[in-house]
Chains A and B, each alone.
Chain A
Amino acid sequence: MIFGFNMLTNALKKQKIDTIVKYIFMILTIFCAFQIIYIVLFIAIKGFTPFFRSYTLENGNIIHVNLFEMISSVSWNQDMADFGLLGIITNTIYITLISSLIALFISVLTALFIVRIAPKWIGIILNNVVELLASIPSIIFGLFGMGVINPMVSNIAFALGIQTKGGMSVLSVIIVLVIMMIPTITMITITSMKTVKKSLIEASLALGASKSQTDFKIVINSSKSGIITAFILGVGRALGEATAVSMVCGNAITGPNLNLFDTTRTLTSTMMLGLHEATGVNYDIRFTVGIVLILIILGTNLLLNKVKRRIS
């Protein structure tokens, strides 16, 4: 009798602990979810303020920020009240487009090599190398870009008879971004290629397809949705990268610039430039640029997700 009572209290106790744990988890989840809401609200409130108030510049001029002017003009000169973002948006999209396409091409082929072609030990080594690359912080890529890629681009340009600004150029930004995106895209592509059914591959080989035909037509085709997921993450990284980009881009004052060997300026580098000491409208406008960046990232994600659904 007493034994049975003990069992009952034990069971009740366990139930109680379960409930407590459940609530702790729930509170943590709500906390996380609210953080996102809080951040978005914070950026939105800060970013919309410039449209609703006036600022007094150092030279005594009183200015208002105009949304229409902001998205239709190409001239950015934050201390003279020129807030045209069109050129900078064009630069950002141009750089992201080129670098993500190059990175996608290299990454998919790398993943294919690691999963399908390389002998097992080489595959394992390369897999580890890629994972290591993915964990390198962006400031390191920035320093590498300044110290190695910029001089390299400068020398290449000199060989072609073009004088660059010490290699600070669209091309350097693209190279740095490609290096940064490759590990992310490759890792996820490897995972999705590994899940391709063996029976599919064997069937293809049995039907007389060569190994490379199988690789390109079966393996890549059946891991399409994984590759696009990887691509979305890669593009997100390219669009949002600030530190490394602002170290190699040169922060050109005129834009848009599509010349590979000339300096450029992206949304993120504009937000970064002189952030520590900016005040007044120069500081607040960075949040507005942040909203534009968030909108572009959201738009790209939606678009790519649509593509993903259509393909698979």
Chain B
Amino acid sequence: MKTIIKLVLASSILLFGILSMTSCGSSKSFDSSLKINTYTRDTTSGTRDGFFTAIGFKDAIKDDSLLHGVTITDSNGTMIQAIKNDTYGIGYISMSSLDGSGLKGLNYNSVAPTTDNVINGSYELSRNFNYIIRNSADMTERENAVVQAFIAYMNSKEGLAIIKSKDGILTTNINTAQSFSDIVNSNQTIKNIINDTGASVQINLGGSTSVEKIATALTSAFKEECKVFNPVHNHTGSSDAYKGTQGSAKDGTSKLHIGFLSRELSSSEVASENTSGFICKDGIVVVVNSKNPLENITKDKAKTIYESTSITWASANE
């Protein structure tokens, strides 16, 4: 009996050893005749929106069925772990997650994915986050004051820190930015509304869903500064930013005081003077497993890879 138990114990230790060996010992070289496994974020993700817009495959932003055999991950973290496990995988993550992820970030159209390249505009897998506000004539005096104070907060040291913490890439130096208390002291209108303790002022914010994370973080922090500020978020897409503030829907039920865009205003969206501006930049990186020899990817290649039913790494490298 005892020998049997010893035998069983010994064999189970051996089995465990073999299993842990196989789970770590995947040091085989890269075989480019194998299929590319594509990974994507789920349809609610802003990174997905940015990525498919940039590579010119807009139909796939909301439609999973166009991405044949794709694997869906629901966060940057899951995406990183998935590509780490899959030598033949390709995916995309937010630029701020690349450092320390253990993955290889590909050059996009031969430009390296660095924040410097995003800021100087040469890295094309990025986009600008912008805002647009209502004309002051369309707002009450107090609404106007709150909106102006919010915009000022957004550009203050505190506001920039929040944007940075939500993965926004800043083009201005955060250390030289004015702090919000300095701004308040130098501007009487803002000072008055900050110290106002009257009825709350409802401010409707909307537009791009990609900017929603940054926008909600900013509003919840700004609420602490400005007690009358009552933000209502309804993010439905960049196209509603102009429509709700200065366009066709500005007096409808979906009117906005501040609209956010994850792109530039188009030629048909003409904003009045001093009602729109830039918030920050957003960078996305195409990532592959560290064993993958690929260094560069072009816009067309990225689209081809995501469109194809099955494509090998060899044919993608041609």
Contact = CB atoms under 8 A, between A and B. Distances in A.
Interface in B166-183: none
Interface in B184-240: 209, 212, 236-237
Interface in B1-47: 2, 5, 19-20, 22-26, 28, 34-35, 37, 39, 42-45
Given A58-B62, A58-B237, A79-B63, A246 B74 contact: yes
A247 interface: yes
B85 A155 contact: no
Nearest to B19: A152
B23 A163 contact: no
Interface stretch (B76-84, B105-113, B272-280): B76-84
Interface stretch (A6-14, A188-196, A271-279): A271-279
Given A77-B65, A156-B22, A272 B74 contact: yes
B89 interface: yes
Contacts of A154: 26, 85-86
Contacts of B5: 118-119, 122
A22 B20 CA distance: 57
Interface string A41-74: 0000000000000000011000000000000000
Contacts of B209: 277
A78 B63 CA distance: 8
A168 B82 contact: yes
Contact of B23 (A78, A148, A165): A148
B72 interface: yes
A253 B64 contact: yes
A273 B79 CA distance: 13
A236 interface: no
A135 B24 CA distance: 27
B71 interface: yes
Interface string B235-261: 011000000000000000000000000
A168 B43 contact: no
A82 B86 CA distance: 30
A118 B70 CA distance: 48
Contacts of B237: 58
Contacts of B20: 148
Contacts of A79: 43, 62-64
A274 B43 contact: yes
A151 B26 contact: yes
Contact of A163 (B24, B82, B88): B88
B85 A277 contact: no
A300 interface: no
A158 B84 CA distance: 16
Given A151-B85, A166-B86, A274 B71 contact: no
Interface residues of B, number: 42
A150 B85 CA distance: 7
A156 B36 CA distance: 19
Contacts of B73: 251
A69 B32 CA distance: 42
B297 interface: no
B65 A282 contact: no
Interface string A128-167: 0000000000000000001111111011101000011111
Secondary structure at chain B's binding surface: helix, strand, loop or mixed? Answer: mixed
B26 A253 contact: no
B88 A168 contact: no
A96 interface: no
Nearest to B289: A166
Given A154-B86, A168-B82, A251-B71, A163 B65 contact: no
Interface in B149-166: none
Given A165-B37, A253-B70, A155 B26 contact: yes
A272 B34 CA distance: 31
A245 B82 CA distance: 14
B44 A282 contact: yes
B43 A250 contact: no
A140 to B, nearest CB: 15
A258 B114 CA distance: 43
B63 A168 contact: no
A101 interface: no
B173 to A, nearest CB: 31
B145 interface: no
A166 B83 contact: yes
A253 B81 contact: no
B67 interface: yes
A273 B75 CA distance: 9
Which 4 residue pairs of A and B lie closest in terms of their CB atoms, listed nearest first?
Answer: A166-B86, A166-B85, A274-B42, A251-B72
12 contacts: A77-B64, A148-B20, A152-B19, A165-B89, A166-B85, A166-B86, A166-B87, A247-B78, A251-B74, A253-B70, A274-B44, A282-B43
Given A146-B85, A156-B22, A167-B86, 12 more contacts: A77-B64, A80-B64, A146-B81, A148-B23, A149-B23, A163-B34, A163-B35, A165-B37, A166-B82, A250-B82, A274-B43, A278-B44
Interface of A: 58-59, 75, 77-80, 82, 118-119, 122, 146-152, 154-156, 158, 163-168, 246-247, 250-253, 263, 272-274, 276-279, 282
